[in-house]
A and B are shown apart, each in its own frame.
Chain A
Amino acid sequence: MTLLRLFVASLLLSTAASAAVPASINNDDSCDIKVGPAATLLLPYFEVDVSGTSGQTTLFTITNVSRYPEIAHVTLWTDWAFPVLTFNLFLTGYDVQAINLADVLVNRVIAPPNGTTSAATPGTLSTGTNPNFRATSGCGASPGLVPASIMTAVREALTIGVFHPPGTSSCRPIGGTHANAIGYATIDLVASCSDRMPLDATYYTADLLFDNILIGDYQQIGANPAGTNVRRAFDAAGNPMVHIRAIPEGGGAGSIVATALPYTFYDRYTPSAMRTIDRRQPLPSTFAARYIQGGSSLFETNQTIWREGTTGPGASCDSYHDNEPLNIGEIIRFDEHENPTTLGTCFIEACSPPTLPATSSSNTRDSQYPFLLGTDVGGWLYMNLNNGGSSKYSVTRDLGGVSAPTNERTALAPAGSTTIAGPRPSQNWVTTSLFGTVAGNHLTAELDAAPLGNGCTPASFLSVRWIDTAPPGAPPIGPAGGVFVCPPGTTLTNGTTTLCTGTNGNPKP
């Protein structure tokens, strides 16, 4: 791949600039991820001290902002994207339900003292029934207490990567080894108290609902700078969960409705001929994230990164190891003087790029990140977290009015981009935790990194190769589509249009 070809590909993409379409003024009508009522919530990372001694845990809270009862189906996944536990939360209209994962993983109790149930009395503004439920919701006997043998297996899966529930053969390795239980959670709106996992194709044809009515947030209690011995015991970092909307919204369980989304959050798990049946918004691949490390306040920064794995339905236990070393497309560190640093000597095709698993929290001093040189203590990171793609991923194209999924290269994976296999970039999410100490007082702030595009944006190109300067023709780092975008008929302030090569239009796949 020559740099010239890269440049040409970039320009071809950019010439779509003038084909601007009118903006949508509607709700729930965009590929952009926002904080708003959604059909799926992603808790991108949890970490729980299963010994119960340090108090390190993750709390999350789900709120049903509709008057109808709803069922939130929670799935816990290992850090290698292996689902280990699912449970349901029955929410009456306008209900709010907090879950302390230490209650679940340490005390084996879901929603103490007795779990949730459809027998709960709704509030005066809430209705008693939901016509989107199955006639028999199966929520009358949702267990609040999980059997010890099952929870032991879940804890082992989340701490040593071995899953061996009673009566089954051992599955390993399906997660990393760490003292604390680490993983991520998905929370879906469903039609009944199903025990199916999102790995099961029937989950999409029988269980999943499409109403955007859940909101959620989390707090990481005992948040620490990753990999350090600095105690931040019982400090907390809090943030909204990732709100993933169904687009278009609505319809009963099993509804098959076309979506303009080229692929979806649950893509690789969906039935082979109906790859967008979940209608969940896809997540982006490029981000800008702040960091502070050092200085008089001894600042540290964690980047908590959720990443789409590559294992699909029916994957063998062995194959989950593929979700541990997921390649990272590119990370560039800018200091406060805009000096860029990279990892130095790594072509994506020619050597081992940095990797991270499906979920992790890493300190910005770690080896995944370029070194911070000089005297500055802050700046920002450009992160192209595309894992290189996978032929297990799909994109659905509209071919003469027929939706046709493909796992071949598409316009979302332009030649020369950081997707080297499959039809599109991988999905990701990043949150940033900033820590500091001033006069013995702890400063902790958690916030979403800023996506530079959305999940409908094509894979980015490598911007910088092995030297700390941009080679000629490499697309510069910037918001997806590039800068400058010029609406038809306009010029830049200086009267020129030569640099009007940017676009906010994402190509159809």
Chain B
Amino acid sequence: MKTLLIASLLFCNAAFAAGPPSINNDDSCDIKVGPAATLLLPYFEVDTDGTSGHTTLFTITNVSRYPQIAHVTLWTDGAYPILNFNLYLTGYDVQAINLADVLVRDVIAPPSGTTSATTPGALSASSNGNLRTPSDCIGITGLVPEAIMSAVRFALRTGIVRFPGVSCNAAGGVHFNAIGYATIDVVAGCTTRMPSDPLYYTNDLLFDNVLIGDYQQIGAAPAGTSLAAFDAAGNPMVHIRAVPEGGGAGADVGTALPYTFYDRYTPAGRRTLDRRQPLPSTFATRFVQGGAANFSTNLSIWREGIGTGTCATSLATGQMVLSDVIRFDEHENPYAFGSCSDIEALCPVRLPSTSTTNTKGAQYPSFFGPDVAGWIYVNANNGGSTTYSVTQNLGGASVPTNVRTALAPAGSTTTSGPRPSQNWITTSMFGVIGGNHITAELDATPLGNGCSPAAFLSTGRFAPPGAPPIAPSGGAFVCPPGTTLTNGTTALCTGTNVNPPP
């Protein structure tokens, strides 16, 4: 444990090497709601019987005057890409997609899909120098053959993939509803390639931060229950920017990002080719459960999988370790899993690539006493993987590596590979007062960004000596050069907002 503390302090001493902050747009590792090149819908759930109305809607808006192509990929909860389609957006276009239309009625963007033959609005431009010519988007189908969609539904409900020439028995979990996640990328043509194909990055992907998006989960209910049917929870999608922005399809541009959102799918020698911001691994999220309003809280957790989206890796992706979960009640009493005090012990908490779980579930420490609320610290790092990379700058040359780096300090919750895994969490709170439904959905708060090193295990049953305390990434207190704390001391000025170069 002393080693842990020393490692933590060494890292913290970098505090005073801070550079000036950026005042520019799209110039940070932080995830914000703002025009982006990729949108992540972290969780969808659709009743493919079509009887309950349970579905996920999402809407994409092109905030530029140029036409854009949004390439939508649906993934199973084992991170297996199962379907992709393109949406042609004229300048300033907004396109809503009801996934029940896609998965139940086999229709993308009813009645007949999107097409580059659409007449643009009065303020919109008719062409985009970043789209391939001639356009291959004129004949985008709005109707997907039932044979294909039947296989997609089956895969999203059972994890079994049965396409001609493709067979996989462990691509995802088994559940009554179709469950998975979606990515939406700006691309140069109406490609049919999946993001798991390296050619997607050298030929298709674009880098313009021009899309915004949101979603509504209709029929939202506390996980594992059927309460609150037909209520809706809505939130922005995760807006993942290309940093730096721009350039044509296949543009190979250096980025300060040490790794990217699509890391494990990118070509071997150019692992940051997508330039998409990485996602963080530690979060703080609220919960309310119980009380007079029968409150309940779901956490929807998206997690980076392992491997390259093949059948062989989906099984492991479906059962990934959740490194550290600490629950605080309203009196700051911490609760952890008693018998799982370190990562090597293989904590029993495992979750797939996307899930919705109730905070009363086994994934979260139980709590006692009269309180009905508080917050949960989640270090969702899956322990890392050698299929992940970090790109180091060695004498001006970008060199990817999959061995331990400064983003995976010894003793941290990354036990394999160069960095922590990527994650995103949204919180849905439900209640019923006088027969009226209360539903609120919001992002959990990342405690660092995707460029922050892996966090250390904070506590078992209680905080072991030397364990870095739970805090914003880098710790508290941060003291700018020349300052002291209010009491005139600097002894506790061990925090930093600086993330180390990998």
Contact = CB atoms under 8 A, between A and B. Distances in A.
Contacts, number: 440
A334 to B, nearest CB: 5
B110 interface: no
B433 to A, nearest CB: 5
Interface string B259-294: 000000000000000000000000010100000000
Interface of B: 18-35, 53, 59, 61, 63-66, 90-94, 96, 120-124, 129-133, 188, 206, 208-210, 212, 214, 216, 218, 229-236, 239, 243-249, 251, 253, 255-258, 284, 286, 326, 328, 330-334, 373-375, 377, 429, 431, 433-434, 436-443, 445-449, 451-452, 459, 462-463, 469-474, 476-480, 482-489, 492-493, 495, 497-499, 501
A302 to B, nearest CB: 13
Contacts of B434: 234
A98 B373 contact: yes
Contacts of B65: 476-478, 483
B63 A29 contact: no
Instruction: Point out which of B247, B330, B332 has the most chain A C-beta atoms below 10 A from its C-beta.
Output: B332
A229 interface: no
B448 A27 contact: yes
A125 B438 contact: no
Interface in A94-137: 94-96, 98, 121-126, 131-135
Contacts of B231: 441-444
A484 B130 contact: yes
Given A65-B375, A442-B437, A490-B247, 20 more contacts: A20-B244, A23-B256, A29-B22, A30-B28, A37-B445, A37-B472, A68-B476, A125-B326, A125-B334, A125-B470, A132-B485, A209-B486, A213-B472, A247-B21, A257-B482, A447-B236, A450-B33, A487-B247, A490-B246, A506-B24
Interface stretch (A75-83, A146-154, A177-185, A452-460): A452-460
Contacts of B374: 96
Contact of B122 (A29, A125, A340, A484): A340
Nearest to A455: B23
Nearest to B124: A338
23 contacts: A24-B28, A25-B29, A29-B19, A37-B284, A37-B445, A37-B472, A94-B328, A125-B334, A213-B476, A215-B284, A235-B437, A237-B440, A238-B429, A239-B440, A252-B484, A338-B122, A456-B23, A470-B122, A479-B34, A484-B208, A486-B246, A491-B248, A504-B245
Interface string A281-293: 0000000101000
A131 B489 contact: yes
A36 to B, nearest CB: 6
B247 to A, nearest CB: 3
A289 to B, nearest CB: 9
A373 interface: no
B18 A26 contact: yes
A24 B129 contact: no
Nearest to B96: A378
A502 B486 CA distance: 44
Contacts of A493: 129-132, 188, 206, 248-249
Q: Which secondary structure dominates chain B's binding surface?
A: loop
A23 B92 contact: no
Interface in A26-45: 26-37
Given A126-B332, A479-B210, A451 B446 contact: no
A366 interface: no
Given A456-B24, A486-B246, A504-B244, A27 B30 contact: yes
Contacts of A212: 472, 478
Instruction: Point out which of A21, A98, A239, A485 has the most chain B C-beta atoms below 10 A from its C-beta.
Output: A485
A125 B230 contact: no
A6 to B, nearest CB: 16
A451 B131 CA distance: 26
B480 A251 contact: yes
A234 B35 contact: no
A24 B22 contact: yes
B328 A23 contact: no
Contacts of A441: 229-231, 437
